[in-house]
Amino acid sequence: MSTIKMTVNGKSVSAEVEDRTLLVNLLRDTLNLTGTHVGCDTSQCGACIVHIDGKAVKSCTVLVGQANGANITTIEGIARGDELHPMQAAFRDNHGLQCGYCTPGMIMSAIDIVNRHHGDLDEQTVRHELEGNICRCTGYHNIVKSVLDAAGRMKVAQAAE
Amino acid sequence: MYETIYHRPTSLADAAALFAKAGDATYLAGGHTLIPVMKQRLAAPSDVIDLGRIKDLIGIEVTGDALIIKAATTYYDITQSAEAKRAIPAIVHLTTVLGDPAVRYRGTIGGSLANNDPAADYPAAVLALDATITTNTREIKAADFFQGLMSTALQPGEIITAVSFPIPAKAAYSKMRHPASRFALTAVFVAKTKSGEVRVAATGASSSGVMRVPAIEQALTANWSASALDGITVSSDGLMEDIHGSAAYRANLIKVMAQRAVADAG
Ligand SMILES: Cc1cc2nc3c(=O)[nH]c(=O)nc-3n(C[C@H](O)[C@H](O)[C@H](O)COP(=O)(O)OP(=O)(O)OC[C@H]3O[C@@H](n4cnc5c(N)ncnc54)[C@H](O)[C@@H]3O)c2cc1C
Ligand code: FES
Ligand code: FES
C-alpha cells in the first residue's frame, strides 16, 4: 500500500491504495470519476485516456505510483461550469458520438491533438493522430468533423483570451 | 495483476541497489509493454523499479559523430528533438510511425530495446546503424545485443543507460504497419555509413527478431538505388508465418520496403 497524492481536475486528492492499482482504477473506483472508461484494458482502444501533466495518455497503462504528484485532468474536468469545453460542444453539434463509450477518450485525445498542432489541422492529420482511439459505432467521419470544428473554435477561444 | 511493490528511485545507483535487494524485481520505464504483460499475469515481479524519473537516463545529445539518446527518453521527446532531426532524421521518422500518440508519450527507447519484440521498430535502426548500447556496467555492440526472439545480452539487473548511433551518410526507414496493432508487419531500415558501408536491417519479418539482409546489402553496395533491387529475391527461410501474412509475403515486403527506404534516403 502507498499513499498517492495528486491533483485531479484542480483538486488535491490523497488515497491509500495498493501499488498494483492502475490510474484508471483510482479515478473510477476510489474517486468515483466514472467518465473515464475502460474499453479494452489492453492499451489498444484509448477509452481510458486522461491528461497527465497535459499529455493524453492511456490511464489503464499507468501505475498509480507513476502518476504520484502529477496533475491529472479527466473528462469531468474540462467544462467550465455549465459551459461545455469547445471540443465537447463540437462533438455534440457534429453528432460525433453514438453510444458514447469511446467519447471521453476521444475528447481528451482530441484536445491534446489540437494543442500540439496549435489548431492547424487537416483531415489526414486528425485521422493519423486518432490512431490510438477506437470507436465501434460512428465510422469516425463525424469524429473527425468534430475535431476539425473544435480546432477552429479553440483557436477563436484562445485568440479571445 | 498480482501484487507488487513500486519504487521510484532518482539515481542509477539507487535503482541497481533496489534491484539487488529485491527478490524478483523488474525495471519499469514507459510501462507500455510491462504493464500489459503484468495485467495478463505473464509477469509477476515482486518489485517494480521505475527508471522514468532518473535524470541521468533522460536526454538527447550530439557529440562528434554520434547521436546519443539516453534510455528513458520517451518517443515523444525524440519526435520533438531538433538535434535528433538534424543528426538522423530517419530515427525521428521511425519514431513518428511507432504506435500511436498516447504510446509515444510513455514508451522509451531503452524499454523497446530491452524488450526486443520481433516486430519492434528501434532494433532495426540500432542494427542498421551499428549503434552501441551503453549499460550501467559496459558497452554492447548492436550485433551482440540482440539474441533472438525477445532476448538480449542484458544480464539480470543490468540497466541500459543510452544508445549511441553513429551519424550515417544516408539512412531511411520504411514500415508496412499492421493496421490494427501498428507494429511492423515488416519494416526495413537502410543505412550507408560515412565510410561507404551499406547496412540493411529488417524487423517484423524473422521469427528470431531483427535481422540483417545480406542480399540487399550487396546489391545496394554495388548500386545505391531502388532499381538495383528489382531482380533480387529475398529468401523466406526463417521468416514469420501467421494470419497476417505468409513467409513469402514478408520476404517480398523486405524487398519492397527496402526499395521505398532507399528512394526516401536519396
Ligand atoms: C498500443 C501499442 C502499440 C505499440 N506499437 C508499437 C510499434 O508500432 N512499434 C514498437 O516498436 N513498439 C510498439 N509498442 C510497444 C512500445 O514501444 C513499448 O513502449 C516498448 O516495447 C517498451 O518500452 P517501455 O518504455 O514502455 O518499457 P516497459 O514496458 O516499461 O519495459 C519493457 C521491458 O524493458 C525493461 N526495461 C525498460 N527500460 C530498461 C532499461 N533502461 N534497462 C534495462 N531494461 C529496461 C523492463 O524491465 C521490461 O522488461 C506498442 C505498444 C502499445 C501498447
Ligand atoms: S482501456 Fe485503456 S486503452 Fe483501452
Ligand atoms: S460512439 Fe460508440 S464506440 Fe464510439
SS (H, E, C) A122-151: CHHHHHHHHHHCCCCCCCCHHHHHHHHHHH
Percent of chain A with pLDDT over 70: 100
Question: Is A134 close to ligand 3, i.e. is its CB under 6 Å away?
Answer: no
B64 against A6, higher pLDDT: A6
A6 touches chain B (CB under 8 A): no
DSSP 8-state class, residue A56? E
Fold annotation for B170-265:
Enolase-like; domain 1 (3.30.390)
What is the reported pLDDT for A79?
A: 97
- In which residue ranges of chain B is CATH 3.30.390.50 found? 170-265
How many angstroms away from the CA of B186 is the closest CA of chain A? 19
- According to CATH, the superfamily of the domain at A2-77 is Beta-grasp domain (3.10.20.30)
Write down the residue that cell numbers 492499482 correspond to: A21
Indicate the pTM of the whole model: 0.97
pLDDT band at A152 (very low <50, low <70, confident <90, very high): very high
State in words which class domain A86-160 has: mainly alpha
Cβ-based contacts under 8 A for chains A and B:
75
Q: What residues contact B152, with CB distance under 8 A and at least 6 apart? A: B113, B114, B116, B145, B146
**Statement: residue A161 has pLDDT above 90:** no
Provide long-range contacts, Cβ within 8 A and 24+ apart, for A77-82: A77/A8, A77/A9, A77/A10, A78/A107, A78/A108, A78/A111
Measured from the CA of B102, which atom of ligand 2 is nearest?
A: 3
What is the reported pLDDT for A6?
A: 98
What is the reported pLDDT for A155?
A: 82
What is the reported pLDDT for B189?
A: 98
- Residues B76, A55: C-beta atoms closer than 8 Å: yes
What is the reported pLDDT for B68?
A: 98
Which residues of chain B fall short of a pLDDT of 70? none
What is the reported pLDDT for B181?
A: 86
Question: Is B247 close to ligand 1, i.e. is its CB under 6 Å away?
Answer: no
- In which residue ranges of chain B is CATH 3.30.465.10 found? 55-166
- In which residue ranges of chain A is CATH 3.10.20.30 found? 2-77
With beta carbons less than 8 A apart as the criterion, state whether B106 and B32 touch: yes
Domain B55-166 has CATH 3.30.465.10: yes
Distance A141 CA to ligand 2 centre (A): 21
Fold annotation for B5-50:
3.30.43
What is the reported pLDDT for B40?
A: 96
DSSP 8-state class, residue A27? I
Q: Among candidates A47, A42, A50, A35, which has minimal Cα distance to A133? A: A47
What is the reported pLDDT for B60?
A: 98
**Statement: residue A160 has pLDDT above 80:** no
Q: What residues contact B94, with CB distance under 8 A and at least 6 apart? A: B121, B122, B124, B125, B173, B175, B189
Measured from the CA of A41, which atom of ligand 2 is nearest?
A: 1
